[in-house]
Chain A
Amino acid sequence: MAKVKGKFWRESPRIRELAFILNRIRRSPPSIAGIAIVLFFTFIAIFAPVLAVPQPNRDPYIMPRYGFSPIPRPPSPEFPFGTTEGQYDLYYGIIWGARTAYRIGVLVVAVSMIIGIVIGSIAGYYKGVVDEVLMRITDIILAFPALILAMAFVVAFGRGLNSITFALILVWWPSYARLVRGEVLKVTAEDFVEAAKAVGCSDFRIMVRHVLPNTIFPLIIMASLDIGSVVLTAAALSFLGLGAPTGYADWGQIISLSRNWITGAPGNPFAYWHTYIIPGVFLFLFVMGWNLLGDALRDVFDPMIRRR
């Protein structure tokens, strides 16, 4: 039955869907918090060049240094978040670190999703031997610990964000492949896929127009939950020194710089709190925001799917 909401709404079914989604999100405070946090970080990432002006003729991702003293300086009007060991501007690093986080997060998740979709849908649609072979490959890769793989890549290609990005993509796509395969198996059992075959659609058309659009929701949920995990893992790798080079605006790297200062000064254990607490809080908030958003999407999509 048509939703009675006025002529404009009636013309566009997709806008009606969007309105429904937004309405459901509006109803739950954690979801709103999640969206707010994610918007906040997106804003920072987009406006980084304005919020923390990069120095001319330099790679903007390298934090500017103001001296060479190893002792971090606490927050002051000149340095809102203080400086790290080696006098890197912490505020600059945090702001541009948001960009780095997005870069890694989105890149790893997007590429993993694409690989996972291709492999998962072929496995789920054709089943049989193809499915077995692809799933065994997936299983083997899933058994790789991300850490060891990252170290191997670093040894092979040198340290840097590119190496760990490759490593993470390689380790991450199997979970998407599995998810897509499960969903594809579920969807291909539905009548409308057989109906599409009866119409005469080619396998490719069925997969792209009929099967995949019906498997998207769980994928979106997983992707949004994963961005947080990827960033966290990348930060851990950078902390260990495998990822971003010293001085790069990456949250993990910044925390790595605080390694020697966690214990603080004699008599004052929190003397250098700003070197690890501030980047830690930002990292935590970023991951939390995406997790909340993922949860919100799961709540929105699940009953909607069931309802429809």
Chain B
Amino acid sequence: MQPPILKEDEQLKIEDLLVRFYTYEGIVKAVEKAKLNLRLGETLGIVGETGSGKSVTALTIMALTPTPGRVEGGNIYFRLTSGEIVDVLKLKEVELLKIRGKEISMIFQEPNAALDPLYTVGDQIAEAILTHRLPEMLERVNRLKKKEAGSFLMRLPIFRGFFEKKLLNQVVREEIVQLLRLMEIPDPERVLDSYPHELSGGMQQRIVIAIALACSPALLLADEPTTNLDVTVQAQILDLIMRLKQRFGMSIIYITHDMGVIAEICDRVAVMYAGNVVEVAPVKEIFKNPLHPYTRALLESIPKPGSAFKSIPGTVPNLINPPSGCRFHPRCACVMKKCSVEVPQLKEVSKEHYVACFLHGDV
């Protein structure tokens, strides 16, 4: 018997993911053999800067790698709500349509870019509901119909279609109002009929979250959703996400560059640099005992009053011609001869703490 691809409590496993972008200037090796696990109901934080490949990885989980990017290798195993395990990269577009929005949802950095300015907010949430939960809604319509079966108008075939549509609208509307209440949006009926530009940034982001959670996905991908929001609004939204996680029980992958946010909401953290995953550890461990030089430098560069500013020398490498061996070695304070020759692999150094560095692990 083959060992199961995903352990009992695993939601997602990314193995050896390879993504390359074919541009005029050359081939950008955006993600190089990335490895990640996600457990059921866990919040995994991905920290990285520009060019780390974190956004590309998230998009690839939904098989939405932006052109000119191409997935050239690796597997992404995902456990559906039904329990079935699929490899997202091997699915056909038809099957992917059933997963996006329903099993895996994503929220992005700019809420007003994610919402269509021409449609009311209610219409956009309804779109998500009707795409994936139509049978359920129709079921409710049927139940409603039975209650009003005596109506004369209902018997006439001309009016029946119109009536059914009205009932469907009503049912979906109720569902949306429920959803907006869950998002702690005051006055949901009025907000439903508003256009995105009439709402503030915080409200827009709540709507985006509502759309993402409308079909109770198993996995929520969040790509810097609070970076553009005010600090006080960010606090509200983070609170909301945590409470929704309790209620819906979904797993979250939260991408950010803000270590403060990571400390607040994440259970485990993965650090990415120039397309590689360089360190993965539980959140307390990564702050208390960062092992990879990049993680350490990142934590040290957080400005602290009274002390001098410490930055990381050098710049993020050009991924068309990345440095040989470990991609961080040109900027590393602890660089060794081996680092420019071999690529370090992610190894478990202590309980649950993985590092890709020749300074640690059994070499």
Residues of A within 8 A of B (CB): 1, 3-4, 20, 23-24
Contacts and interface: CB of A to CB of B under 8 A. Distances in A.
Q: SS class of chain B's interface: helix, strand, loop or mixed?
A: loop
B65 to A, nearest CB: 18
Nearest to A27: B24
Contacts of A4: 320-321
A49 to B, nearest CB: 42
A161 B318 CA distance: 57
A20 B318 contact: no
Nearest to B26: A4
A264 to B, nearest CB: 54
Nearest to B318: A1
B25 interface: yes
Nearest to A303: B24
Contacts of B320: 4
A3 B24 CA distance: 10
Interface in B15-40: 24-25
Question: Which of B24, B25, B320, B321 has the largest number of chain A CB atoms within 10 A?
Answer: B24
A24 B23 CA distance: 11
Nearest to B23: A307
Interface of B: 24-25, 318, 320-321
A20 B24 CA distance: 8
Question: Which of A1, A3, A20, A24 has the largest number of chain B CB atoms within 10 A?
Answer: A1
A93 to B, nearest CB: 45
Q: Which 6 A-B pairs have the closest CB atoms?
A: A1-B318, A3-B25, A20-B24, A23-B24, A4-B321, A24-B24
Contacts of B24: 20, 23-24
A140 to B, nearest CB: 32
Contacts of A24: 24
A42 B24 CA distance: 30
A4 B317 CA distance: 14
A23 to B, nearest CB: 7
A23 B23 CA distance: 12
Contacts of A23: 24
7 contacts: A1-B318, A3-B25, A4-B320, A4-B321, A20-B24, A23-B24, A24-B24
B344 to A, nearest CB: 25
Nearest to A2: B318
Question: Which of A3, A23, A24 has the largest number of chain B CB atoms within 10 A?
Answer: A3
A308 to B, nearest CB: 12
A23 B318 CA distance: 22
Contacts of A3: 25
A233 to B, nearest CB: 37
B268 to A, nearest CB: 33
A303 to B, nearest CB: 10
Nearest to A4: B321
Contacts of B318: 1
A20 B25 CA distance: 9
A4 B321 CA distance: 9
Contacts of B321: 4
A1 B318 CA distance: 7
A24 B25 CA distance: 12
A20 B321 CA distance: 19
A256 to B, nearest CB: 48
A1 to B, nearest CB: 5
Contacts of A1: 318
A20 B26 CA distance: 12
Nearest to A1: B318
A299 to B, nearest CB: 13
B142 to A, nearest CB: 49
A24 B318 CA distance: 22
Nearest to B321: A4
A23 B320 CA distance: 19
A63 to B, nearest CB: 48
B326 to A, nearest CB: 20
B331 to A, nearest CB: 15
Nearest to B316: A1
A20 B320 CA distance: 17
A283 B261 CA distance: 66
Nearest to A3: B25
A1 B26 CA distance: 13
Nearest to B317: A1
A129 to B, nearest CB: 28
A93 B183 CA distance: 76
A247 B320 CA distance: 62
B25 to A, nearest CB: 6
Nearest to A20: B24
A23 B25 CA distance: 11
Question: Which of A4, A20, A24 has the largest number of chain B CB atoms within 10 A?
Answer: A4
B12 to A, nearest CB: 32
A25 to B, nearest CB: 12
Contacts of A20: 24
A105 to B, nearest CB: 32
Nearest to B315: A1
B61 to A, nearest CB: 25
A3 B26 CA distance: 10
A173 B25 CA distance: 39
A23 B321 CA distance: 21
A210 B346 CA distance: 50
B280 to A, nearest CB: 29
B214 to A, nearest CB: 31
A1 B320 CA distance: 10
A238 to B, nearest CB: 44
